[in-house]
Structure 1
Amino acid sequence: MKRLISTLAVLLLLSGALFAQKGGSRNYIVGFYNLENLFDIYNDPAKNDEEFLPDGKNRWTQEKYNKKVHNMAQVIAAMAKDNGRFHTILGVSEIENRLVLEDLVADPQIAAANYQIIHYDGPDRRGVDVALLYNPTQFTYLDSESIPFTFEGSKVDITLSKEEQDYFRTRDILMVHGLIAGEHFAFYVMHLPSRIGGKGFDLRSRGAEICYNHAMEMMKKYPGIKIAAMGDMNDDPFDDSMAVWLHGRENLDEVGEEDFFNPFLSMIKAGYGSLCYQNQWCIYDQILVNSTLAKAPQGGLKITPLVKNTYYGRIFKKPFMIQQKGQYKDQPFRTFSNGSFIGGYSDHFPTYILISK
């Protein structure tokens, strides 16, 4: 009965949001969420998923998987409730395959959004991919591309040997192209190489360089196109990958034609965080927008302030998403802690921006 009431509430929410859009005010939510190891329970010989099997290290049973999917949908539904509408675009990372996304979007808490899935199986050795969910009532899909992580032509000073470069595998970068209210948009979804062992700064810079170069080509191909680059960057907004190689700028008046505006740069300076890494709050979960989306003329879609007319980005967290006690008190309530299943959500908080006319 509770599930039925919850589903009806979400349906009413969606219908209200659509009505509001038809009334003239055009608001679109674009977000990103690291789902923290959303694996199914089945063995895929092509992927390193042994820990996430019923007899694996994590004892990943159907019951635990169902709980995980329910929790991820709960967060997405909570964001929709706060915003009065579902996301138009939601990039995600740390998902094993399309199957887990199909289960997620079918969850009764968010099924009314009718999210469509863009996903490619990638080469990451750990077996996790990025993907994009879109609301077909608000976004018209045109085409997409899985952009491989290569080293050819890079201007980044790469520390890996040629042999190491040939062996290296990580997530591809996803690009999705389509229309919102008749305007061309390109969305990039990334999960840049990790910081394990204090390494990877050059690899993250290379990933940002790949994204930036592709975005510049899209701007040449589609003059006036609006671009948002999102993901788990494994770097903060002030790190080289974001500030130098992706040309992320803190203030709108600093954004040139070939720059990106990073709304989370001012937020990290103010003490906000989307995850806690080595007991320090960081914002690895970022969404940057190109100059066309940052400074569109009146009547065009552009990024709009979300918080007290000051911040253009939001880090979404509710009490149920936060660890309430113990060693990790006040940090994200994650799925596992010290190797034990604790039934939480993710070690990252989702982030999003608002686009409107």
Structure 2
Amino acid sequence: MRNRWSAAIMATLFLVAPSRPTLAWNKAGHMVTGAIAYRELKRTSPGALSRAIEILKKHPDFPAWKTRMDNLGLVGDDRDQFLFMQAARWPDDMQGPPGVTHRERHFINIPFRPGDTTVPAIPGGENILSGYKANREAFASASSDAEKAEALCWIFHLVGDIHQPLHSVKLVTAQFPEPVGDRGGTRFYIRAAAGGNTISLHQFWDGLILGSPNFQTVRNESILLTNRPGHAPADFPELAEKDFAHWASVESFALAKTATYLDGTLQGSTDGSNGKLLPADYAAKSKVVAERRCVLAGYRIADVVASLTSAGSRLETASAPTARLLVGFWNTENLFDTVDDPSVAGDEEFTPSGPKQWTNERLEIKLNNLARVISGMNNNAGPDILGLAEVENRAVVEALVAKLESTGRHFEIVHKDSPSDRGIDCALIYDAEVLKLTGATFHNVDLAPGKPTRDIVEAEFDRDGTPLFVFVNHWPSRGNDESQRLKAASTLRGRVDVILAGRADADFVIVGDLNDESGDKSVKTTLKALGSPTCLPTSALFDAMAPIGEDPDRGTIVFQNHWQVFDHLIVSPGLLDQAGFQLVAGSTSPAIVLDSQLFDPAGTSIPRPNRSYSGNEFHPTGFSDHLPISCILQK
């Protein structure tokens, strides 16, 4: 789907009309750099990330950005990532006269004269070097919060700009004479393929990253780019260089000469209606360079933001709530031990001699992969409560908990072997230093004889005198009749009714893989979980994952090549009031902690969760066919 480029595809992309002003990477490309920076800060500097988000929320355009987030149904981390994307593109969105939009700030025209070996002079006046310096100074000064936010957006953007090689150069030849030369390729006209329309070389390079500014498309592209071999931070020795002027006058200028102008041999035209045809391999080679530069730009934006905010922002953060809990769930997909349990008919394939060749080494790899994600949740603090599905027994849960030492938490386990014919259970882990477990119940779902399924786990906690119930579910799969999921829903609803009859404002969370979506009968009718928290009927619940399911490009699992929300986080009316715990609005979302949780298969298949097996083929980088989900409760 993405990143499968050829000269023919490039030709299709550039069947467009004539050139435009110098705008750097197009807006989608800048959004990709912002998304990369967001995830890198989340991984390495969560404190700096939080401060940058608070600053950007003071931007004059934030109300409009917030409206877009609301219209897109973005929640949780996706809202903050969208904010970074908008910040990175904002200078290209500005309207007004040149003195307001500062078009000259986006580039610097260092002259490239093919064959001239002398070091070119660095132009003065307003350019990207002076613009970057001015905005760093504005950010550090005692300017207003809004001015500080605008300066931060410019910094994002200019770091992105300078990594597009044509933002550092002007070609000077007899064909493109001084004083303007080819002005960064904007007067150098080409055609990407025979029969293609004429465009500028600058426009060609601007569009090499991505064409669509769709949030999910940008987000996925940024993940795929950073997942590419050779694109991890450790693969960029350039990150040791912190001087912005060096990025412009040495790095980008050198690439402009060699990769863009092919040391002066690339043929272009001054006729905007009759461009020269690019060499057959030019598009593919340029794509590789552009993608690497885009990823480097994202990493450098993260470095700059961490540096700028390391001394703290003068913006004051709100006082923390008295208690804040991150509650999550993950279907870990076939977390079996390697020993055949003779009492279970469904676990033989997950043994060393079975078709999956499930060895201790492979189990260790999967446990490490799962633990990296779980430890990275909650800004690397790990979850307070995490429901689990598809765990074979307590032993594998204990092995997983042993991998979570980096969180510094004291995890305890709620688990009981269930009657599932596949030998997979639900379980729950919680931080015993944060919550006190006051009760645990395992509800049997009474299906037809010979069709045992997983128990529903119920755990009751106390936090400083406030009770909280958590239910963990894994309902029968889509391979079973719908009536089985209706039975599971009815079993759970029966317990919910008992709790609400005793206390209408009780606080409880239902998490799990329900194998149905928000609009399906089991969820909407039997369980009475609705997709909006406003004006809930008496005893109705709020399915906080429902807004995710309204976006065709988002979900928790890919089923029949479409994103779907099978994993739910459903809350009681009590979590929507002001007493006890409250669900933090917008905090519910799939949890993508590592870029490698998604991968892009070949052909027409869409990006999807990176699972441990395809058939019987083991993937050492895999996690699960589901994404984890989480929300925040506070009181």
Normalised-by-shorter TM-score class = 0.7 to 0.9
Letter in 1 for 2:613: F
Q: From 326, 331, 341, give the equivalent of 1:29.
A: 326
Aligned to 1:5: none
Letter in 1 for 2:597: M
Aligned to 1:309: none
Deviation at 1:166, TM superposition (A): 1.8
Q: From 268, 273, 283, give the equivalent of 2:555.
A: 273
Distance 1:23 1:244 in 2: 37
1:69 aligns with 2:344: no
Distance 1:138 1:256 in 2: 33
* 8 A contact 2:500–2:539 mirrored in 1: no
**Bigger Rg, structure 1 or 2:** 2
1:142-190 CA deviation, whole Å, 9 max, x = no partner?
A: 0111101125xxxxxxxxxxxxx12221111111111133211111111
Aligned to 2:602: 326
* 8 A contact 1:316–1:349 mirrored in 2: yes
Deviation at 1:270, TM superposition (A): 2.4
Deviation at 1:105, TM superposition (A): 0.5
1:110-155 CA deviation, whole Å, 9 max, x = no partner?
A: 462221100010000000000011111221100111101125xxxx
List aligned pairs for 1:110-121, cutoff 5 A: 110=406, 112-121=408-417
Q: Specify the SS of the correspondent of 1:167.
A: coil
List aligned pairs for 1:186-265, cutoff 5 A: 186-196=469-479, 199-221=480-502, 224-265=505-546
Q: Which moved more, 1:98-107 or 1:38-47?
A: 38-47
Letter in 1 for 2:330: Y
Aligned to 1:4: none
CA gap of 1:108–1:145, structure 2 versus 1, over 3 A, is closer
Distance 1:217 1:356 in 2: 24
1:342 aligns with 2:619: yes
* 8 A contact 1:91–1:131 mirrored in 2: yes
Q: From 577, 583, 594, give the equivalent of 1:296.
A: 577
Aligned to 1:138: 434
Deviation at 1:26, TM superposition (A): 2.5
1:289-330 CA deviation, whole Å, 9 max, x = no partner?
A: 01111x222x53110123xxxxx4211124210114435551
Letter in 2 for 1:263: A
Q: Specify the SS of the correspondent of 1:254.
A: coil
Deviation at 1:353, TM superposition (A): 1.1
TM-score by length of 1: 0.83
Q: Specify the SS of the correspondent of 1:121.
A: coil
1:180 aligns with 2:455: no
Distance 1:200 1:261 in 2: 25
1:233-283 CA deviation, whole Å, 9 max, x = no partner?
A: 000111111100111112222323411101111221123210001111100
* 8 A contact 1:273–1:281 mirrored in 2: yes
1:63-83 CA deviation, whole Å, 9 max, x = no partner?
A: 1000010011011012132xx
CA gap of 1:170–1:24, structure 2 versus 1, over 3 A, is closer
Q: Specify the SS of the correspondent of 1:52.
A: coil
Aligned to 1:158: none
Q: Which moved more, 1:236-245 or 1:322-331?
A: 322-331
* 8 A contact 1:249–1:260 mirrored in 2: yes
Q: Specify the SS of the correspondent of 1:217.
A: helix
Query: Structure 1: which 4+ aligned runs deviate by more than 6 Å?
Result: none
Q: Specify the SS of the correspondent of 1:166.
A: coil
CA gap of 1:188–1:108, structure 2 versus 1, over 3 A, is closer
Deviation at 1:351, TM superposition (A): 0.6
Distance 1:33 1:200 in 2: 24
Distance 1:110 1:222 in 2: 38
CA gap of 1:66–1:166, structure 2 versus 1, over 3 A, is same
1:99 aligns with 2:395: yes
Distance 2:548 2:404 in 1: 34
Distance 1:126 1:68 in 2: 19
CA gap of 1:286–1:110, structure 2 versus 1, over 3 A, is farther
CA gap of 1:315–1:23, structure 2 versus 1, over 3 A, is closer
Letter in 2 for 1:313: T
* Higher relative strand content: 1
Distance 2:598 2:567 in 1: 17
Letter in 2 for 1:330: P
* 8 A contact 2:530–2:540 mirrored in 1: yes
Deviation at 1:224, TM superposition (A): 3.5
* 8 A contact 2:597–2:609 mirrored in 1: yes
TM-score by length of 2: 0.48
Aligned to 1:54: 352
Aligned to 1:356: 634
Unaligned runs of 5+ in 2: 1-42, 48-316
Q: Specify the SS of the correspondent of 2:509.
A: strand
* 8 A contact 1:74–1:109 mirrored in 2: no
Aligned to 2:277: none
Deviation at 1:109, TM superposition (A): 5.2
CA gap of 1:207–1:108, structure 2 versus 1, over 3 A, is closer
Aligned to 1:315: 590
- Number of aligned positions between the proteins: 318
Deviation at 1:356, TM superposition (A): 1.3
Q: Specify the SS of the correspondent of 1:31.
A: strand
1:47-74 CA deviation, whole Å, 9 max, x = no partner?
A: 2210111111100011100001001101
Q: Specify the SS of the correspondent of 2:599.
A: coil
Letter in 2 for 1:300: G
1:39 aligns with 2:336: yes
Distance 2:588 2:441 in 1: 26
CA gap of 1:329–1:280, structure 2 versus 1, over 3 A, is closer
Distance 1:183 1:108 in 2: 27
Unaligned runs of 5+ in 1: 1-8, 14-19, 152-164, 307-311
CA gap of 1:25–1:329, structure 2 versus 1, over 3 A, is same
Deviation at 1:23, TM superposition (A): 5.7
Deviation at 1:200, TM superposition (A): 2.2
Distance 1:72 1:58 in 2: 19
Tell me how large the CA RMSD over aligned residues is: 2.3
Deviation at 1:223, TM superposition (A): 5.6
Q: From 445, 450, 459, give the equivalent of 1:149.
A: 445
